[in-house]
Each structure stands twice: as C-alpha cells, then as structure tokens.
Structure 1
Amino acid sequence: MAGKPMRGAPFGRERRGTCRMDRDDIADEGPGLTRRDFVAAGGAAVAWSLLGKAGGAAAASMPAPGASAGPAPNPVSFGDIPVTLREGTNVSIALSPDGKTIAMDLQGILWLMPAEGGEARQLTGYLDDIARPDWSPDGGMIAFQSYRDGNFHIWTINSDGSGLLQRTSGLFDCREPRYAPDGRRILFASDCGGNYGIYVLDLRSGDVTVVVDTPHEDSEPVFSPDGRRVAFVSGGQLIVLDEQGAQTVVAQGAVNAPAWTPDGRGLVYRVASGTPRDMRSSRLYRSGVPITGEDEDVFPFPVSWLSADEIFYTADGRIKRRHLAGGDAAPVPFTARVTVAHAGDYPRRRRDFDSEAPRPVKGISFPVLSPDGGKIAFTALGQLWCLDVGTARPRQLTDDSYAKTYPAWSPDGKWLAYSCDRGGKLDIWLRDLASGEERQLSRSPSAMKQSSWSPDSTRIACASQDGYLYVLDVASGAMTRLLHQTVWSGRASWSKAGDVIALAAVQPYSSRYREGVNAILTCELSNGETAYHLPGPGLSLDVRNVNGPIWSPDGTAMAFTMKGTLWSMPVDPRGRPTGAPRPLNDETTDSISWSGDGGKILYLSNGSLRLLTMADGSIETLPLSFTWALAKPSGLQVVHAGRMWDGRAEEMRSDVDILIEGNRIAAVEPHRPDRGDAAWIDAGRRTVMPGLIDMHTHREMGNQFGDREPRIFLAFGVTATRGLSDNPYLAIENRESVDAGRRVGPRHFATGDALDGSRVFWDGMRPISDDGQLERELSKAEALEYDLLKCYVRLPLRLQRRVVAFGHSIGIPVTSHYLFPAVAFGADGHEHMGGTSRFGFSRTGSSLGRIYQDVLAIASGCKGFRTPTLFGLEGMLGDWPGLLDDPRLSVLFPAWEQAPLRKAAAAGPSKPVPMVAHQVEGVMSLMREGVKIVTGTDYPIVAPALSMHLNLRAMVRYGMRPVDALRSATSVSGDVLGQGIGAIEAGKLADIIVVDGDPLRVIDDAARVEQVMVNGFLHDVEGLIAPFRGKDAGAATETPQHATAGPAAQGPLRLASKSRHWWHDERWVEEVRRSCCLPT
C-alpha cells in the first residue's frame, strides 16, 4: 500500500551532504560539549568520511583514484594444516551479470568459482573479514563489506583479484552494498545517522547521499532493475520506495534479504518463523508465495537470478539452483581450500595446586582511598581490609563467610559502606570505623551494590542487580529510585553540590546491533533529566565498573580510564565537558578513587597499588605485604564407593575405594575395610563421580548472588568453573579465596575483561582502540596470571591474532565466538553454537541451529574445543517436578531468580525444541570428528549450576548418550583445561561428587548430589545451604519496579528522558540481556 514519504529526501532527488561527513555523535544531547561539538569547534578531524572524493571513473569497474588502496600482498593466509570445504554455514553468493561466475563469501573470504560448480579461487585474505559480495553491472568489479579496520566499510575489488579499494571509512558501520543498475553508485546501510538508514555512494565523486532514514532500523537496500525504486527492510517490514518518496509495504514479519525479479515486478525474500531461541523455519518467498519448503534451511542472503524463472541461492550448507516453475533444487558443488593451525601446540602453564608456600595476594578488589588520603579499604580473600598508607600490612575488618564487595568511605571519614549478604542477600551495610559496629542500611527485594556517598555524607547512591539507580537516606534507610534501567552501568559519582550523579553507561549506536560506546551518563536529582557525554570523537570509556567517571571533590573535573590508562577532563557543575581530556599516566589503570582534597588518585596497575599526586604528576607504588597459601587437607581419606565412574569409562566400577592423600587422588582400588588410620567417607550405597566443570561462566558479572552463588554451584555438583570475561581483580580474588580455603566454592579458572573492539555492550568487555592499549592489557594478563584470554565480538582479526600469539607465549589458551580464521592463528577453541556475531549472522551455526561440513572440517582439522552453551531450556523444568521444593533452589536461589524458574516449571511437561535438537545433532557430529566438546552455560544469563544440568538433559534428550554428555562436563573439560581435574585417576586433584542414582543410565541422577569434595575438602549439601536457611533473599517476588523500596513512602518514577534514550526502556534492556549468543 502507498504511504507517506520517508524522512529524508526521496532517492530520485537526493541532496548532497544529507549524511553529514563531519558527524560523529551517536545520539542527540542537551547543551554541553558533545561529540558533535568537538567537530564543530575544530577539536577533532573529520571522523566519518568517504574515500575517493578526489576523482572518479566512468564505470564502476574503474575505481576512483582517491580511494584507499588495500593491503598488500593479498590474499594473506595463516596456518599449515590444509582443510577442504565442500559446504558452507551461512555461505552467501552473488552471480555475475553474464551468469558464468559465482562470487562467494565462505568463512569471511571472497572466492570466485564457475557457476556450474568446481574449484573456488581465493580473492581476499584471512584478515579482510568480508561479507555480502555484489557484482558491478559490467562484471568487472565486486563490492563487499569488510571489517578489516575495526568497523564495517564498503570495499571493492576487481574480478581478477587486483585493485582492492576501501570506499568508506570512519567511526560508523557501512554494510550490505548493492550496485545501482548504472554501475556508478552503491547503495548501503549505515548507522551514521543515529540509527540505520539507507545511503548511496557515488563512485565517481565519492559523495554520499541519504536515500531513506526512517525512525526504524533500515537495512539491506537494493535498486530495482530500472533504478527507479529501492526495496529495503525496516522495522519488520519489507518496503519499496519510489522516486516520489511513496512507500509500499510488500511483506511483514521476520523478513530480510530482498532481491528484485528481473522484470522488476516482484521481490524474492527470506522469511523466518519462530522465536529467537526456537526458530522453526527459514524459507524463500516470492510476493507472498513460498518458493522453498519448510524443511530447507535457507540462509539470510539475497538470491541471484540466472533467468526470469531460475535462481541461485544458499541453503542447507550448499549453493542451490532452482527453477521457480517447480521441481527440486539442484546443488552446485564446490571445493575451497583453507589452512588452519593445530590447537594447543604450545607449552601450557599449570597452576600450582601443591605448594603451600606463601604467595602474594593479587586479587585486590575495589580499593578506595580514604578522604584524608591515609587509608585504603578493599576486599580480598573473602573479607574487608584496611591498609594504612605507608605501612605494608593491611588490617582485617571482617571475619565471616558472607560476600563483601564495593567498599566506600563516607566523606567525613567516619563510615565504610559496603555490600554484604549477611542479612540474606546483598544489601548496603555501614561500618562505624571508630567502634567497629555494623548495621544493615538497605532492605530491598533486589541485590544492592556499588555504593557512593554524597558530599555531605547524608545519602548513598547504589545500584540494584537489575540495573536501577537508587539513593539511600543514611539516617532512615529510606530508598528512592532515581534512574531508569540500564545495562550493568558503573558506580555512581556525585557532583560537588550533590545535585547531579554521573556514572558510566553504554550508549548504543543503533537498536539493530546492541554495541556502542561507554559514555558518561549524568542524572539531575531534581527532575531525573539525563544526558550522555563522551570525552571526544570516537572515544569510549573503559569498562563500566569502578573505572570512573569520578568527580573531583572540587567539582571541576572527572577522572576515568580510557584506552586502558588514567585521564582527567574538565566539566561544569552539571557534568558537561568543558574541554578535552588529558592523560595522567601511561600504564594500565583500574579501580580509581580521589582523596578528599583532590590532590591524589589511587588506582591499581597490574596488581600494584599506585598513588598519583596531581600537583606534580608523580606516581608511587604503595608497599603491600599481603600473602595467602594454598589450603589442602592432610592425611589419608578413603571414599568407599558402591559405584564409581571415573569420567572416561563406558561403565561404572563397583565397590571401590578412592584413596586421597592431601588434595590429590593417590589410587583407585577394590574396597578393603582395613585402611589403618584413614578417614572414611561412606558412599557404599551411592555413586561417586568427578565433579562437573562449567566451562563458560561470567561469575563476577553475576556477583549479585553473593555467597549463595558458589554454594549453588557446589550443591548441584559443579566443582570447577571457567570465567570468560569478568572484572580481573574480582575474578582473581575469587580464585585466591577458594584456593586459600577462605571461601566455600568451586575452583575457578579466571580471566579478566574480554578484549573487544571500539564498540562494546557488556560491562565486562574492554574496548581496545589501538595496539598500545592491547599490549597494556596483555601485560596485565601476564602480571595477574590469567588462566585464559577471550577475544570478543568486535575485536579486529589482526588484533585477535596478536592475542593468540601472546596468550600462547605465556602458556594460556585463547578462545572467542569465532571459529575461522581464529583457528588459523592457533586459537584453542570457540564458544557457543552460533554465538553473537558482529555480522548479524553466525558462520558456525545457522538460524535453525544447524552446522555444515565447513564447520566440521575446520574444527576437526585444528583439533580444538567447542563450548555449546545450549539455550532455551527453561521449559524442561516442567519435567523436574521436585525441583521447586528442593532446598538448593527454594533456599539458595534468591527470589528474583526463582520467579522465572517457577513460571517455566508451572507450564508442565516440556515440548521438543527443534532448534536445540539441531544444535545437539551438530554437537554430536563435531564429537564424531574428534572435536573436544566441553559443557558450559553462560551464567549469569542463565541460572547458575541448574543450567548445567539442563544442558546435560537436553543433550541426552536429543540423542546423545549419557556417558558422552557427562564426559563433556568432566574428563573432556578437564583435559582441555589441562590442570589435573575432571577424572577420578591417580594424580588428579580430588574434585568429586557423591550422587544418588546412576547417571550413566538416567542423566537426571547427576543432579541428585548429596556430597561434594573440592581439593580434598568434603561438604554435604545441607552444610552448603545452612548459612542461608531462614534468610529469604528479599523473598518478595517483585523487583523494585516503583520509585521507592524499604521503609520510605512511595514516590514518583522519574523517566523524563526515556523517550529520547530508547535504550533505557526496560523491555529493550531485558531483551538484550537475554539475547546473547543467538544465531541469526
């Protein structure tokens, strides 16, 4: 139907400059020095420009001489193990105008092959990271999008492989190029306007013009054959725009990949059905009529036309040729050859689980400088500590098993506020520093953390676990909700007058892709008005935790970390920048705090406490003599097992003794009652097996569970976890606390912030802006002795290759969401069954959850590992009738986590989920090819520990043998870690569980845990639960959805700016939190 013109000029009457080349802001703001102001004021060079404006060519196959030449030599390859690919997972193609040649994107490389099939010839290299090829009308050139420089941009290459040229550049993403019929222009989608709009690039002049920019996210444009109309996708609709600006809605729903019919009278497009976690079909349609069947796995890319009734498209891992008149599609065979490297081909560093010699404490979490500059409060080894500056030995302030985090000094120096779950869940507690007396201040139904005192010491700003900002009255405990929901924002900081609060928050570039920059968010207490500010064009703050912004005590500046180092920026009383930021050091910087007079800043650098004097810029390392030692039992323990599974064998052994000397298994022998002075553990009527290993967690991102979380893991039999991105110091603190016997919990294999590109989403992702910053982050990894490194979604391949090389040089593995070309660099494995990708689609899993021969061949060729992290399993709780009454859930799980689990269980017995079934089929195919499958959950996106058992149950439900599922969670994971766990064998660490039943026959029995041993220390389930019996974790099932909680009267909810900052919408926040790691 016809409709009103789109916002912006109709494409037939374009205005040059509509897409501003000097624009580098990503959202309109109020008064103040925004990114746009920096450019207008001459504070930075043009940040988004089109290359090639100096000259042009008469045809698309003649590149503009001003365009940027590509890298040489090209193509570049890595690895020495040959792999032949005959299928492609989410492979895309474009047919040349003469119908003779196919351009193919297979695993991020551009290939050419004969249209009838055959050997593919490589045109681009492993670092070019290309997608969505499109031919020029004369067949002389191919356009594509490339992520080579750390943003998506339009590139072209001649069809003979010469003349690689970058056509766009800058801070914004430019995607999905399609040639105009005249060959002189390229349509593309870009987020340069604050959301995705459609633009056209003139190849002769280099000018860019806006074609359409609706309030929605506009993408995948394509000219009609006569060049007089444009079809594109916008807001769940396929729309055709004509020269007069009128629009026609062609299709609605999950529609994408439009392609015009040769006569221009219709469109072919792809439609997906189902939910993100349960996609049911992916089909091609022509003007509302399906072309392909429900059983085909059609990939999300435009078709190519060979004739008026014959198309080429990709589905089921293949290139297909189909006559629209009817009949089956014919596959077009191809072979493409790549190379990979052997995973694990380097000396591995092993953690020392034997020596009891003292070791320096490196897990110094959230240190804060006292107002007088003379003391430092921090958490370490599970307790709260205070260090007098100038002395080396800290004083222990607390001594109990509960969680403690985020200490904060009152400005008058009389109190320490911190988060603790002594009362049942994380609340704000106050400690009187003179008397040592403590009291619980907040009593919210949600976990509360990140305390920050007002300048007059009468109020405390803090955040709830679900993303709201609150203000507590210190005298009464009254709590008022101040700020709308955000995604894991940072600790608040107060203005000098106490009327504005600033914190770090994510500011997305668009709603189509969730990533953005970490910006300074200010909120005025009087009216709730919010505004975002950036330190400069294209600049992002580092992680959003305790790295700033923090207001100087005199209110004239903010300090924060950026590019991994410490910076200061002048601001006005409302927090608006008044000048450019300046660097204060050139070393890794975390956890910053000012002294009360503003003269000093404390921070952590590679594990050392550093103190900066603002007056002269001098920096000193503060002395700290603080050690811990490995805790392990002494003497001989014997576990008598009625049945024992060692983590590897096909069957159980019966009536055996497991002999444990200290923290290691000494032997496994037939049962003998005469073992002398051994301490006996009787499991004669039970099954003993290795403890489970969760290989994909973000435990420090889920620290709102407090001390409940490690107990939940143990109570469900998880004795080890691997972290995939977390606050590094908190992760190391957790690791040291458990190893030292100061915290009851699973042993932890830790990393720091995942290494990401210039755009980020999660708090635990570190935006890397240049090579120097990356080197600093890698030095931190070595200094803090990370157990692994993780590269995240937008880290460019060139930098990922450097991370792999460095990680292996210090003996630790490297993983990411990407399989190829990461494994050509030597990466050890990859995460998820088609996880979050910068492309909007995965090359390791289709939207229906299927994988194909390319993934199998590459993964088996490198001999790496894969962590499936199956999602959408909560419905299976309906098959677990006793769970809701199990005290491991009813006592240990906080109310906000119980509520969705109870809702899922109430739905009754679960129905099959085809997408999960396809994923499990893919997992089993990988196993058959020799790929090491390890089980992980992605906690805290899903429930802790419980999700491990749902993963195991799902694998068995959809075809895997229980023994293979359990191996993935025990011995295979242990072998991948290489740290002596995961099996009951002589020499292994004593991490074992005692369960009621036979898990090799009934996988559900793996959850019937009665006792658990970690490092030789035995715990029973009741002992794990006991500290929280009678403490209901704020058992009100509501989370704070209103303005106040606790004893204060209800007040108004202030969301005056919400319509402008759409990413504060609770529905969007919840959706993106739950949407991690879904294929497209």
Structure 2
Amino acid sequence: MLYIANFSTALARNRYLKPAFLGLATVLALGAAGACGGKGPALDRGTPRATSSPIVAEGIAFESQRSSRIEIHASNRFGAELVNLSAKAGSINSHPSWSPDGKRLAFTSEREGPGDIYTMNADGTDQVRITNDPAADGFPAWSADGQFMAFASTRDGDSEIYVMRADGSDQKRLTNSPGSDSFPSWSPDGSRIAFESDRAGNTDIYVMNAEGSDQKPLIADPAVDFAPHWSPDGQKIAFASNRDGNSEIYIVNEDGSNLQRLTDNPADDGDPAWSPNGSRIAFYSDRDGSRDIHSMDPDGGAPTQLTHGDTVYFAPAWSPDGSRIAFSSSQDGKLSILVMKADGSLITRLTDRPFSDLSPAWSPDGSNLAFESNRDNNSEIYVMDADGSNQVRLTNNRAADRRPVWSPDGKLLAFESERDGNREIYIMQSDGSNVRRLTNDAGADYAPAWSPNGSLLAFTSDRDGDPEIYLMRADGSGLVKLTNNTRRDENPVWSPDGSR
C-alpha cells in the first residue's frame, strides 16, 4: 500500500494511483494500480473521481482544477456556460452527485476534516454537512427515489460502502472486506449497488443487493476496473479499465456479458457518466493535453469536448433533467465544484470564496446568528445581526472553535474547541466573555445540544471507543452515558418539550 498525507501533492505529481479513499488533512491509504505485482499496467488515478447517482440527463456536473483549487462545476452538454457551484476556498470540494429531482447536489468536502458528505442547492446555496466523522467519508451516490445515499468511508479502518438516509441519519455499513471498497453506484430501480473493490488483490467492479447481500464480481480480470456507472435502463454498466494498456471507457451488460470498449486513445479516459436518457456518456479525457470533460454516444461515436483550459476537470455528473453537468476542478492544490450547461456553456463556480462561513445558529429571539468562520486563517466563533450586518468575532484562539449553539435564554453559547489538545465542550457568554470548559476527556467531545429548559447539554463523545450520546448538566456535572452499542451514535437533537 502507498500512503499519502496530502492529496493535493498527489494531484500535482499526477501519480498513477487507485485511492482507497481521498483526504487532505489525514493520512489516507491509496493502492498503486501497478503495485499488486503483475496486475496490469499502472492506471492514472491522480485525480478523484465522480460519484454515481441515478444518472442525469442533458446537463453535467463535474470536477475541475483551476486557480489551484478543485471545485465542483456544472455545464450544459455542449460545454458552454460553465458555472462553479461549491464556493469554499481553501478546502477540497469534489465528487458531485445530483439528487433525482435535480434540486440538490451531494458532494465531498474537506473543509472541516479529512472528508465529509455535504449537500447544497443546485445553485450552490444552503450547503449542509450530513456526515460528521473523524475518518474520511466520500463518493456520495443518491438512490433513484432520493431517500438514501450510498457512500464510502474509512471509519472502520478500510474503505467500505455505507448507506444512510438523504439527511445523514440511519447510517449502516454494507461491506466488510480486507480490501478497499468505494465508488458506489445505485441501479436505477434501487435494488442493487455497483462498486469497486480490491479485495481480491486488484481493483474490480462488484455488484451487491442494496442491503449488502450477494456481493460478487461483475467481471474477474487481472486488470484494474473502476468507476462503475449504471445505464438509465439498468441493463448496462459503464466503467473505466486499463486492461488494454491505459485507462479507457467500457460498457458491459449488468450480468457481466457482452463487454465492449468505447474509447481507444493513447491518452487516459475515465469517469464515465450516462445522461438520463441514455443518449450520451460524459467522461474525462486528457487526449488534448489537459484533463477536460468530453461526451460521446453510447457506442463511442461523436465525441465532443465540453471544457477547454489548462486546469484539471473531472468527475462529471448529469443533472436529472439533463440540462446541466456538475463537475470538479483542481487548481492551486484545491478541489472545487462547478456547474455548466450540458453544451459546456455558462460555467459557474459553486465552492470558491476567500473564506468559509458555516454552522449558523439562530439566537432564540431571531435577532442574531452565531456561526463559525475561517476568515482569520483559523476556525473561530462569530456573531452577526440577522441581516448579515455587524459581524463580530467572539473567540480568538490558535486552535479551532466550532459549531456554536445558543442556550434557550440567549445568554450563553455552547461550542466545541480543540484549544486544550482535543475536542471538548465549552460555554461562554453570548458576547464571548467568560469561556469555560465543561468536559475533560482524552476522547473527542463534540456536537453540543441544549435541552429546551437550558439545564442540560447532550453531546457526542468517543471516550469509550465508538461515538455515543452523553448528557450532562449545563455546568458540566452529572455526566450520564445515554447510548451504548457498536454503531455510531452522534449529533443529538432534543424534542421540543425536552422529554426526549
């Protein structure tokens, strides 16, 4: 195995890698495609890949590297009107996946750690974090009914496939293998999930039932097969493979029969994504000297280059109506999310700002918002008026202060901070004065939630191994462990009457 601590460095080197998972802030395992000893020629995996959702129609989302950041973009299917969607400078935002109704995009971001799943509106607004784990989560893929997401995570050691509801709740592990499982793709009817795995020594495409049963390889081949994507009718799977010497696009029947090669170019082609009506396949290619988004007929004919430039574009994802393409870009070592019309016009950047503001929390009377921001090169707590005016910094510490929550009477703010070495729960007056530490444990304590009467705080802690829900008085006394199981219990929320 090859271990890389900085994914941006890997991008810059354009290494031939097969990621077990992607991460910038933590050390993530990546298997070299040619490192398994005679498993076939090396495959260019130096950029992250698109997630698969039930594929979308005439617009494409994809990733791009420009201005040293990788962001998610979208365009129409002819490459015009490129739009950047992910708008969070200084962080890695990648792997866009459209919701079936086209209203939301799920994506991976490292803005708060090694990688979590976020969703946002199709125009880049209302960015919401839906996973929160110290390990890396990524490759989100919506189910066809929009109720679930499959994703990959390293939370249990190796990269495995998980499923959760679209709001991030009810997270369940589907695979458990000694290798790396990633890049899930739902069948259009929601009954099966295709994914890539190196459990047998080299990377192959596997298929399983949606609840995780009956896991089996689609095609057993000594080459590297990756990035599976179901056709809209569920009869075929497109994927990339180096079986003929370099990365090319192939399609195969859903039972593994009738393998066909679609591209034949000395350059690398990858990240295939079917349009919703099945008439086109978007993919990345560096055949013209830089990595750009292209599209072609499903028989490999009529290829069209949609993006043009010196940056790196990859991971295309069609919008459900087929009018747009979201994608990722990499520039200056950062990943960004953009969107364009399906003809490649009107490129708009969704994640690219000079700083990141997040975790907004309304004061009880609705007059103020507390939030966290890295505008001063560190995550701190700020407060502003409800109209965005009068923004004031409340904390000032070299460590990260995050996720403020107001007490019901509006006098206090609880938050999590790493100022004493690891994540603990703190409170302070709403003007930032009188900061007090409430928890003191070698584990991580985070996600505080006030009871409606303000006398108690629920929070998450992994002090006993797995994250569990704990309860304490507002002064830090009377600690009680509420949950105890081998699964992850996180992010407590009180019922309005405080009874649960």
Normalised to the residue count of structure 1, the TM-score between the two structures is 0.23
Which has more strand, going by share of residues?
2
Bigger relative contact order (CA 8 A; separation at least 6): 2
Which of the two has greater helix per residue? Answer: 1
